[in-house]
Amino acid sequence: MVKKKILKTLNKKKGMYLKEEEVTSHAGITAEELQNEIESLKSDGYIIDTSLSEGYRLVESPNRLLPYELQRELETKYIGQNVHYFKEVDSTNEVAKKLAENGAVEGTIIIAESQSRGRGRRGKRWLSPEGGVWMTIILRPDVSPVKAPQLTLITGVAVAQTLQNECQLDVGIKWPNDILIGDKKVCGILTEAAADKEFLDYVVVGIGIDLNVNVELFPPELRDGATSLQFELEKEIYSVELVQKFLKNFENIYEDFKEGNFPEILSQWRKLSKTIGKSVAVHKKGRIVLGEAVGITKDGILILEMEDGTLRKIISGECIHRPSENV
């Protein structure tokens, strides 16, 4: 809280010196306390110049998803207005579920700089070193439990649009929820819901973006087919701004969803889809279904055209894009 007040004061005149008295009076602390807090901010990665005669000057903020930085210019109404931040945690989805059980409000986000037991879909592990965005959003939509999987699709649209707008890369979605750059995965989404037959209690949507991550250091089974934004753009990405834009975009799309506009969101999904029109292999509990992806139903179910021309609906599975035969 004190740190927040100090940073707010310093940020008002970023790059310029502020007298010690000005900062202490705004933050309501003594000069000694201020010095201690400044040291602590420096160890968080803030670059702050100190001059005996001129006072304090904020030179640079760290490229970290610290709650204060994230919320400073966040334009959302409720998504991300409550943040639980961890330097390291087992899995943000696990924390989110506990918080949701204890009544956390809709829009609460859990964010970690690294995860020791990050989880992917289908029981896979998800490597989550520092530099990535590992985040979970708690949602409480007043919709039937059967609609919960639609939240994965809307999150995919929000991530893909944000990356496309910010980075002008060839971003798209592999059904159901992998965000690709070219043909490499840059983001995965893990949605988990708590519901009884009729009512959805809460949904946690976990998003993992390989942002400033060196995927070449991943073990081969996780490295293959993966990329990071830093690798694609050949520069370090400022994570705070990207996440703020994503949260705003997500909130807009989620509001549309709650107003019953899922068909419009699905048409955005179709435009972003890298799966429709491809020859695919869908792995389902030890079986492999081969076909051509020809569409997606209004509920987000993949439609495959089989070799014999029949259509088959695929509710879930691991989808692999197969190389086109005439290339």
124 binds ligand BTN (CB under 6 A): yes
Comparing CA positions, the residue from 254, 259, 269 lying closest to residue 299 is: 269
Please tell me whether residue 91 binds ligand BTN under the rule CB under 6 A.
yes
DSSP assignment of 265-283 = HHHHHHHHBSSTTSEEEEE
For position 138 contacting ligand BTN by CB under 6 A, the verdict is no
Residue 92 contacts ligand BTN per CB under 6 A: yes
Q: Does 119 bind ligand BTN (CB under 6 A)?
A: yes
φ, ψ at 82 (rounded to 5°): -120, 120
23 or 242: whose CB is closer to ligand BTN?
A: 242
Q: 3-class secondary structure for 57-123?
A: EEEECCCCCCHHHHHHCCCCCCCCCCEEEEEEECCHHHHHHHHHHCCCCCCCEEEEEEECCCECHHH
State which of residues 34, 74, 139, 190 lies at the interface with ligand BTN (CB under 6 A): 190
Binding mask 206-245 for ligand BTN (x = CB under 6 A): xxx-------------------------------------
Residue 120 in the binding site for ligand BTN (CB under 6 A): yes
Closest CB to ligand BTN: residue number: 188
Residue 218 carries which DSSP code?
S
Binder of ligand BTN out of 56, 68, 126, 262 (CB under 6 A): 126
* DSSP3 helix / strand / coil % (the chain, rounded to 5): 35, 30, 35
Stretch that binds ligand BTN, among 88-96, 220-228, 283-291, 294-302 (CB under 6 A): 88-96
Interface residue list for ligand BTN (CB under 6 A):
91-93, 115, 118-121, 124, 126, 128, 134-136, 178, 188-190, 206-208
